[in-house]
Structures are given as C-alpha cells and as structure tokens.
A and B are shown apart, each in its own frame.
Chain A
Amino acid sequence: MLEQLRQWIKRRRSGLVSNMPPENLPNPKSPGDQLLSDCRLIVLDLETTGLHPNKDEVIAVGAVAITGGVIDLSDQFDLVLRRPELDITETVLIHGIGTEALTHGHETEDALLFLLEWMNGDPVLAYHSAFDQKFLEKTLKAQLGYTRSHTWMDVADLLPALIPDASTGGKGLDHWADFYGLEVSARHHAASDALATAELTLIALNKARKNGLKTLRELNDKLRYHRRLKNIHRM
C-alpha cells in the first residue's frame, strides 16, 4: 500500500493526476451480481475526536480489503490525520511517509483522494456503519467537495442476520470479538479495529456461503430483510 501511495503522490506531483476532478474517480458500485467468492469489499474503521459528526473530526482511517473471501494484507489502508487541538496547521502522518513528502497544505486532500482511488468504488463495510458513513461523507464533502454515495453495509447487522443463535451477550464489536476469541492487537486503533471487523466479516461470509448466498445482492437482501424484521420487533 505504501508503495502504491508513494507512486500515486509522485504521479500527482508530476501532474499526471493533478487536480483530478471527482468525476474521474472510480464509480461507486451497487450490490448486484458480483460473486461473493471473488468480489472485493472494503472493511473500514474511523477514529474521531468525538461522537458528533457536526462538530467532531476524523483522526485516522484504517481499512483492509477482503477479496474472494480472504483478507489480503498487501491491500490495506492505514492513515492517521493528526489534528491536535493546539496545532493550527492540519498535518497528516502516513506510515512510512514523512509529512515533507506531501505537498504542503494539501496533505488531507491528497490522502482522501488516494483513499477514494484505493476504495475503487467497492462496497464499504463497517461496524455500526452509519457512524463511519456520516463522518466520512462529511469529511469528503468538506475537503474535496465529493458527494457521491457509496454502498455501505453494517457488519453489526450482518453478523446477527447470518449467525442468529450466537449468544454474544451484547451487540458491540467487543462482544462479537470476545465470542469468537479474536485477539485485537490495539483496540480503538482504526486499522486494528478494521481488521477485527474484517475477521468477523469472514466468519459471516463463511456462514453466508453455507446458507447458499452467492452474490452481493443476495447478501444485501438478507441484510435488508434482517433490518425489517428488527424494526417490526421494535414496533
């Protein structure tokens, strides 16, 4: 990923992708007949300064890609947008790349453009995805004026939809991680939480395959059905 990012920045600086208009970014894909056994999914987690999208900011973005039902660790995204309150200039720290390597003043923009390119329009999964979706959409709009909507799927719904009989003792990421005995290397670190979420997604996808779900659409339908059921129960 670092090499890709370096290359990308080099190209951008040399004007090859300069001022890429948002319409040239990859198109968001909708859940159709892509096979679960070979499509690519993004599993993402954000670290923020607080819980309110209106006033809080994104600190870090961590993401891994699931391709064909396995997590490919050569295809991951780990970015820290460090914004200490006292520091006026927004600085970006990307692992392996010093701030001096990025065009001064455009760090956040460059990083978010790269994120969009890396995501390649593939469906985005997150734990309690509504939260991540709001923050990311807000940030993309504020920094890049980017407003296209991506397909989001909530892993917090996906798990109970496919594994209804698991007695996790709660609905949080920690509950599921504990239930499956996952070791989370650094909880609340965006990349590490994204990996834990992705591991749970693998478990869910394994179950989906055994339930005969083959395509992304079938998975999405299952998810919607589960949400409707949940709402009926609530009423």
Chain B
Amino acid sequence: MAANQDNTRPQNTRSIMVFLQAHAPFSSMDDDHLAHFAEHSTLRFYADGDVVLSPDDGIVRRFYVVKQGRIRGERLNQKADKTETTFEISLGECFPLAAIVGERSTRTLHRAAGDTFCLSIEQDAFVTLFAESESFRDFCMRGVSSLLDQVNQRIQSGAMASMGSSTSLSTPLERYALRNPIVCSPDLPVRKAVARMHQNSVGSIVITDDSRHPTGIFTLRDLRTMIAEDTCTLDAPVRQIMTKDPCCLPAQADAFEAAMLMAEHHFAHLCVVDDEKRLIGMVSERDLFSLQRVDLVHLARTISTATHLRTLVSLRADVSRLVDAMLAHGADSGQVVKIITTLNDVTVRRVLELNIKKNNPGVPFTWLTFGSEGRQEQTLLTDQDNGILFKTPEGMTEDQVRERLLPFAKTVNDELAECGFTLCKGNIMASNPKLCLSDREWDDWFIRFIDASTPQNLVYSSIFLDMRSVFGPTDSLHELFEKVLTRIRKNELFQKMLAGNAFQRKPPLTMFRNFRYVSDGKKNSLDLKRQGLAPFVESVRVFALANGIERANTLERMDELVQKGIFDDKDANAWKDAYSLIQAIRMRSHQEMLNNGEELTNYINPDDLNPLDRRILRESFRQAQRLQQKLEITYQL
C-alpha cells in the first residue's frame, strides 16, 4: 500500500528499531520482529542509584535493553560485608538473560549507574520473540551459557545431541548405550574365551571374579600377539595371558575422562563400574568418537609408536586438524588445551624414548616441564620450557651425570624444535646446565629462588612454580615440590611479592570499560595471553602456592581453592568460565591464523569479533579485575 515500507510505522517506533539495529542480537533480526519489540515496549527511567531489578522482586517478568546510561550488577560479599560490582551492562545490551529464560528471580541486584533509560518488554512479548526469531533465541541461549548458567549448558549439549552431529564430551558414561560386556571366569581356556567372543562378534572379553569385579581383559589384539610370539597355548587358562587390572571408570565419569584415559594408555576399551566396582558395561573408543571422527586415541597411539622423528613431525599436522575438529564440535577450551597437552606429552615422551634407544645416557632422570606445559594449558603456539631432575647414582658426581645427560638433552631439545616446539629464547631448556640438576641442587636452587626475591626471580615464578614431570620417576619431584610449598607457605614476604607481581598485570580495560590496547605500536590489538589469561594464571598461582596446592593447572587450582574454602564457588565458577572463554577465543583465532597460513600470535583486534564475543571478552576481563581485587584485599597491596 505505502510506497515506502518505513512510512507505515510511527516515527517513534521506527527510531526505536533503528536504535535496536545497532546492537546484537537485534542487528540480525527481521524488521517484523524488531517492530514487535518496539511496539510492545515501555521506556523507563532510572536515576543514578535507583534499583532496576532485585532478587526480592520474585520471578522476572520483563526483559530490558539499556537505551541510555548503564546498569551495574551488585552482589553482597558476606565476608567483607560490602557490595561488589559483578558486571556492567552498557548501551544496547540486554538483561536479565538467565533469569527470564530460567523463569526465576534474578540473583544479582541491578542498579542504575548514572541516569539511565531502559526499553523493556513484558514476558509474553519476550516469549513471542523467543519463539519466532531464531537469532534472538540463539543470542539468549548463548548469552545465558556464557553468563555461567549451568542449566542452559545442559540445554545446549542436549541440542547438540539432537542435531546428531556429535556427542558432547561432557556426557556421563552412563548415558552412553553401554555394551553388555561379554565376561568369563579366569580359569576358562583361551580357546573357549575366543569362541565366546566370536559368537558375540566382539573384540574383547572381560575376566571377572565371583562378585563381578573385573580382574582382567583379553582382546583380539592380545590373541594376535599371543599367536605371533607364541607366548601361550590356546588351552591355557585365560588368566595367564589376560591384561590384569583393566582400566575402570565409574559410570558418572564423563566421555572426556574416558577419552583422556584411553589416549594416555592407548587402550581401545574401558570397563565401566558401579559404586562397588562391579562391572556394568564396556565403552570403546569407537563408542566415544564414532560420530565425531575425532580420532584422538588413534593419533596418540600413532605418535607413541612412531619409529622416526620425521613421522612425529608429520603427525603434528594431525594434531592441528584434531583441535580444529574438536573446536568445531563445541568441546570447551579446557578440554582442548588438555588434549593438546596430552598429545604434546606423548610426543615429548616418544622423542625421549627414541633417543634413549639410539643413545642411552645410562642415568635415570625425570624430564620436567614448566610454564604453560607444566600447567597443561598448551595451545598450538608453544615454547619449550623444560629441565631435568636426577638422583645422583652412587660413585658419581653431579657434574659427571651432567656430562652424560647434557648432550642427550641437547639432541632432544633440537628434535622437539623440529616437531614444532619452538626453542625457548630464554634458554629454559634441559640442555642448559643450570636446569639439569640433581634433587639436592634443585632444592638449593629453590631456596635461593624463594629467599632472594629479585625481580628476575619473580618473572621466573610464572615458569618454575608451574612444574610437572612428563617422563621418568615422579616421586623425587613430589618430594622436591612438597619442600618448596612448605617454604612458600612460611614465607609471607615472598607471597606478598608474588601477589604484587601478579597485580601488575592489569586486564586490558580502561576506566570507561573500553578495551585498553597494547602499547607497543600494534594498533587496536589485545594480547590475549599476556593481558587476558595471565591475570588469571598469576593471581590463581599466588593463592594456590600460599595454600599448599601442588597442582599446576589453573582450573584445577581454582577447584582446589574452592574445596579449601579460599574461593567462593560462585566466584570461582565465574572466573573459570571467564578464563576458559578467553582461552577459547584465543584458540579460535589460532586456528584461523593457521588456516590462513599466517604466523601464530596471541594478538587479536576486538573489532574483528562479533558483538557478542566482544561483550563476552569484556565481561571476562572484568572478572579478571575482580580476581585481582581479591588479591589486593588479601595481600593488602
């Protein structure tokens, strides 16, 4: 009817639509849906400090968009008996998401920060939009999950399963269609056991005792080895040839744990047991990954049996493809970094094994990794940070041991470099005589490190205090680390200096909640590692070391800090999510750089992100600020 579609709507409706269009998710919504929003909205004013939405209001019945001004979320910190700002919502942003989707009251007090106007729609208009606009629905669901709502994460993983594209790795094993295991007693002759496997067309049989506890497993692969190597006859009882004490997981464990265990030990099968350790099913690698084509176990096995360095080098491309596939299938960043670390560990071990075969130094040693590898937080962009710990054998001096180990370590460092682990510019490598030490020398080294808190030592703290063994005996490292932890716990000055150092790394937000860009000339870029992740890693390290936590992984450290009552679990969840989200954005950008054949860096331009990711990033940085505030209060910085 009207020549100009626009003229059919009143001026004020049109102007609200124009306003909405400048912001996510409205920018990707149809005009009709925007008009529905505009025509059903009310415009409300809140003076500075007015309460907009409170936990006492009961179930949330309206949905708001900030038209002008700002809203801040407040939560009472019972310990400090004061309120803390938990988030800020600025122009064009929506709230509340989790509460209105979950049909519950808000958990956070929403207060106007400065004079503020909000557009608001009632629940029924919200429901209409939610039902009719796909982009609006996606936004609400994603927004909720990124704002840490557990319930919604379930919905998401459920949605993924129903799409049939993949199975989420956080699904508990009991949800998998567990195969009914084929079992036999330990005394059954091998011949009969194989016949039973054949009848049921399965590749493995579990040997159980009278109360159904699994005591061993026998697979077709074992049969092949047995016949080829003639180790046993077909009439011998199966217990002679079975693999004893098969790997078991409780039914509540998730698919990710199963996959990790399989990748580490190169099993293709795992027993699933109930609380009393009785066998209830089997889960195979194929069950976990049949739909995903993410062949983690196979890849780990290929790496660990590679006979030449060049095979290892070529397998690195597969690692990258695997990461790609996992990110595409929605694995979370915590899982992906752990998988990368596991595959890296397997590679390091294999390089060490191949070199021992070729040229055995003849002294037992423990291969240590530091820094991000120590924390199990490696991405595709990774440096070597390693060292050697040895026990001096009788009749040898430490220098004599070093004479043997150092050339060996040099070859290993060079070969790892060929595999894509960049040589460490700071020479933090096992081939450095200062880092190839006996247990006694390491202990002295740490005493000096902790007592003489020089600035250089503080820089090193991010490397050497995140330590783990990858190869060789672990008990000497455990002993060493216990001593180190005790010393740190007793040395409050050192803790305070660590805290002060961690406090230096400010998240990249300006006072006005914009991004603060790196100052070294790169325009509009953020360093996700140094500016984004480091504030979390460093602050959490201080708390972990001060409280005797031996783990190096940042997420696991936070879990233990919650268990010890140092962190509030809501706070810790927010921090873990924020940390993981920054990591996820970093890894996605690595994959993109890799696909474009660019050199990997940790820089991103936030303008290249979609508005939602930008908001997530900003919110995550704010969480880092909160964590630093805790550090500030605890150590009175």
Interface residues of A (CB under 8 A from B): 1-2, 62, 64, 69-74, 76, 78, 95-96, 98, 180-183, 185-186, 189, 191-192, 194-195, 198-199, 202-203, 205-207, 210
Contact = CB atoms under 8 A, between A and B. Distances in A.
B1 A1 contact: no
Contacts of A69: 44
Contacts of B14: 185
Contacts of B39: 73-74
A183 B15 CA distance: 10
B41 A206 contact: no
A36 to B, nearest CB: 13
Given A73-B16, A192-B15, A78 B44 contact: no
Interface in B23-42: 38-42
Contacts of A74: 39-40
Given A71-B42, A74-B40, A64 B68 contact: no
A70 B44 contact: yes
B68 to A, nearest CB: 7
Interface string B346-376: 0000000000000000000000000000000
Contacts of B47: 203, 206-207, 210
Nearest to A1: B10
A2 B43 CA distance: 19
B45 A76 contact: no
Contacts of A72: 42
A50 B14 CA distance: 27
A185 B15 contact: yes
Given A192-B15, A202-B44, A203-B45, 15 more contacts: A69-B44, A73-B12, A76-B10, A78-B10, A95-B9, A95-B11, A96-B9, A181-B115, A185-B14, A185-B18, A186-B15, A192-B12, A195-B12, A206-B46, A207-B47
B15 A73 contact: no
B636 interface: no
A98 B1 contact: yes
B115 A180 contact: yes
Given A73-B39, A180-B115, A78 B68 contact: no
23 contacts: A1-B10, A62-B12, A64-B12, A69-B44, A70-B43, A71-B43, A73-B12, A74-B39, A76-B10, A76-B12, A78-B11, A95-B7, A95-B9, A96-B2, A180-B115, A181-B68, A181-B115, A185-B14, A185-B18, A202-B43, A202-B117, A203-B45, A203-B115
Contacts of A182: 68
B183 to A, nearest CB: 69
B11 A206 contact: no
A73 B50 contact: no
A207 B50 CA distance: 11
B13 interface: yes
Contacts of B38: 73
B13 A73 contact: yes
Contacts of B40: 73-74
A78 B12 contact: yes
A181 B67 CA distance: 11
Contacts of B596: none
A202 B12 contact: no
Given A199-B43, A199-B45, A185 B8 contact: no
A191 B10 contact: yes
A1 B529 CA distance: 54
A154 B309 CA distance: 86
Given A70-B42, A180-B115, A199-B117, A95 B10 contact: yes
B11 A192 contact: yes
A206 B15 contact: no
Interface of B: 1-2, 7-16, 18-19, 38-47, 50, 68, 115, 117, 120
A186 B11 contact: yes
Contacts of A205: 45
Contacts of A76: 10, 12
A111 B82 CA distance: 57
B42 A206 contact: no
A180 B16 CA distance: 18
B344 to A, nearest CB: 53
Nearest to A198: B43
A182 B115 CA distance: 10
A207 B46 CA distance: 10
Nearest to B41: A73
Nearest to A185: B15
A86 to B, nearest CB: 21
B362 to A, nearest CB: 77
A71 B18 CA distance: 18
A71 B115 CA distance: 16
Contacts of A78: 10-12
Among B12, B18, B115, which residue has the most Cβ atoms of chain A within 10 A? B12
A69 B18 CA distance: 24
Contacts of A186: 11, 15
A202 B47 CA distance: 10
A205 B19 CA distance: 25
Given A183-B68, A192-B15, A206-B50, A98 B2 contact: yes
Contacts of A62: 11-12
Across chains A and B, which 3 residue pairs bring their CB atoms closest together, nearest first?
A185-B15, A202-B45, A78-B10
Contacts of A2: 10
Contacts of B115: 180-181, 203
Contacts of B44: 69-71, 202
B12 A191 contact: yes
B11 A189 contact: yes
A198 B12 CA distance: 12
A96 B68 CA distance: 29
Contact of A206 (B12, B16, B45): B45
Contacts of B68: 181-183
Nearest to A192: B11
A69 B45 CA distance: 8
B46 A191 contact: no
Contacts of A185: 11-12, 14-15, 18-19
A40 B120 CA distance: 18
B420 to A, nearest CB: 53
Nearest to B10: A78
A64 B9 CA distance: 15
Contact of B8 (A95, A180, A202): A95
A189 B13 CA distance: 13
B441 to A, nearest CB: 65
Among B7, B9, B15, B38, which residue has the most Cβ atoms of chain A within 10 A? B15
B21 to A, nearest CB: 13
A180 to B, nearest CB: 6
Contacts of A64: 12
A76 B16 CA distance: 13
Contacts of B9: 95-96
A73 B16 CA distance: 10
Nearest to B38: A73
A15 B1 CA distance: 26
B539 to A, nearest CB: 36
A73 B42 contact: yes
A182 to B, nearest CB: 7
Contacts of A198: 43
A191 B16 contact: no
Contacts of A70: 42-44, 120
A223 B41 CA distance: 30
Among B1, B41, B45, B115, which residue has the most Cβ atoms of chain A within 10 A? B45
A185 B43 CA distance: 15
A164 B13 CA distance: 32
Contacts of B12: 62, 64, 73, 76, 78, 185, 191-192, 194-195
B456 to A, nearest CB: 50
